[in-house]
């Protein structure tokens, strides 16, 4: 698969282009996505206040994509690796949806062609103050020696399971549900399948790394949980897996297990959270950490970024079988 990776600065948005090989029919067009992360729409500020100093960044992305559109045959949608909102509030998702509609219009795709996962800023932490048992459950899960059993005990519980996902209610109902990307205690991840240029399949999995996130995140090096139920991939002929997750493995308590699973089965891995833009190849996988659309200006390496990701299969017939990169 060819990757075209675009990383962007505040005004003018510079590009770095990389290719990544796979095998298939060269004649058909690639799948091309805009990859965004850490947008951080703020209630009563974003798009509604004169103090919205990030409006220029969003306008620059729109202008940048408008100029770039002619360089690609078509765009297939937008991938968002979390932190759409700043505090998980309903109004923040209203603004986010309006801006994403503009993105989709500029790149020429349907407004529903958005895939997303939640980040820690999509958690409404005010709910934890009302339901202290939520953070108690977080601590119990993190402290368990058998993570899968601890998660199953709580997520399968008719009362405790929905309660753990309650802080993500605004994210799910006001945003993710529109794009068929909502997650629940019964289904903590989602999958969607698109067709690659040679007729093989790209299966996108949205992994939820925020359901155990709270104001206590800073008290430990790896506070959030993914759980093994989100990282079991079905291996099928002519299916390539793309994983979308907000927190990179080093920020996740069971991150080593996540990393091992993704490196074995996910050819493309997209992360956010760190506000640091990088790409690297690990065995047969390409790992991309997108910079933030709206990083804090107080950060030492403040630099707004985003990716354009283009995937295409190269080669035909038997050359595709058994070959790995």
* Helix, strand, coil percent content, the chain, rounded in steps of 5: 35, 20, 50
- Helices (H) and strands (E) counted in the chain, each on its own, are 8, 10
Q: Which residue has the higher pLDDT, 113 or 217?
A: 113
Provide the b/e sequence for 14-51 (b: ≥16 CB within 10 Å). ebeebebebbbbeeeebbbbbbbbbbbbbbebbeeeee
At residue 9, the 3 state secondary structure works out as: coil
* % of the chain at pLDDT higher than 70: 88
Mean pLDDT of the chain: 86
Round to whole Å and give the CA distance between 102 and 39: 15
* Phi, psi (rounded to 5 degrees) for 28: -80, 160
Q: Is the pLDDT of residue 91 over 50?
A: yes
Q: Is the pLDDT of residue 28 over 70?
A: yes
Average pLDDT for 176-202: 95
CB 212, CB 138: distance < 8 Å = yes
pLDDT score recorded for residue 4:
45
pLDDT score recorded for residue 44:
87
Confidence of residue 68 (pLDDT cuts 50, 70, 90): confident
The structural domains of the chain, ordered by start, are 31-319 (3.60.21.10)
Radius of gyration of the chain (CA): 19
Give how far Cα 175 sits from Cα of 56, 108, 109, 192, 269, Å. 23, 21, 18, 17, 23
Structural tokens at position 25: 């029919």
Average pLDDT for 172-187: 96
Average pLDDT for 189-201: 94
Q: How many CB atoms lie within 10 A of CB 152?
A: 14
At residue 128, the 3 state secondary structure works out as: helix
Give the pTM: 0.89
Q: Is the pLDDT of residue 19 over 70?
A: no
For residue 176, the Cα-to-chain-centroid distance in whole angstroms is: 12
């Amino acid at each position: 698969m060819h990757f075209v990776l675009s990383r962007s600065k505040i005004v003018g948005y510079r590009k770095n282009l990389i290719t990544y090989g796979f095998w298939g029919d060269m004649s058909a067009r690639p799948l091309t996505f805009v990859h965004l992360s850490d947008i951080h729409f703020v209630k009563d500020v974003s798009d509604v206040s004169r103090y919205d100093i990030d409006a220029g960044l969003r306008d620059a992305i729109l202008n940048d994509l408008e100029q770039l559109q002619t360089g690609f045959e078509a765009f297939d949608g937008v991938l968002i690796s979390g932190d759409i909102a700043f505090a998980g509030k309903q109004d923040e998702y209203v603004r986010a949806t309006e801006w994403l509609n503009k993105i989709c219009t500029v790149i020429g795709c349907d407004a529903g062609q958005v895939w997303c996962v939640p980040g820690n800023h999509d958690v409404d932490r005010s709910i934890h103050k009302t339901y202290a048992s939520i953070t108690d459950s977080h601590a119990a899960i993190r402290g368990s020696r058998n993570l899968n059993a601890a998660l199953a005990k709580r997520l399968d519980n008719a009362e405790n399971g929905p309660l753990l996902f309650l802080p993500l209610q605004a994210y799910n109902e006001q945003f993710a549900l529109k794009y068929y990307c909502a997650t629940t205690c019964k289904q903590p991840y989602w999958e969607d399948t698109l067709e690659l240029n040679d007729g093989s399949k790209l299966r996108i999995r949205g992994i939820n790394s925020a359901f155990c996130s709270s104001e206590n995140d800073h008290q430990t090096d790896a506070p959030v949980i993914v759980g093994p139920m989100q990282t079991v991939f079905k291996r099928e002929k002519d299916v390539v897996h793309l994983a979308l997750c907000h927190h990179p493995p080093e920020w996740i308590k069971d991150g080593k297990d996540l990393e091992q699973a993704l490196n074995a089965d996910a050819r493309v891995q997209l992360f956010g959270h760190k506000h640091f833009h990088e790409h690297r190849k690990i065995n047969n996988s390409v790992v991309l950490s997108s910079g933030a659309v709206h990083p804090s200006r107080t950060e030492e390496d403040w630099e707004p970024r985003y990716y354009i990701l283009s995937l295409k299969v190269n080669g035909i017939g038997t050359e595709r079988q058994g070959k790995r990169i």
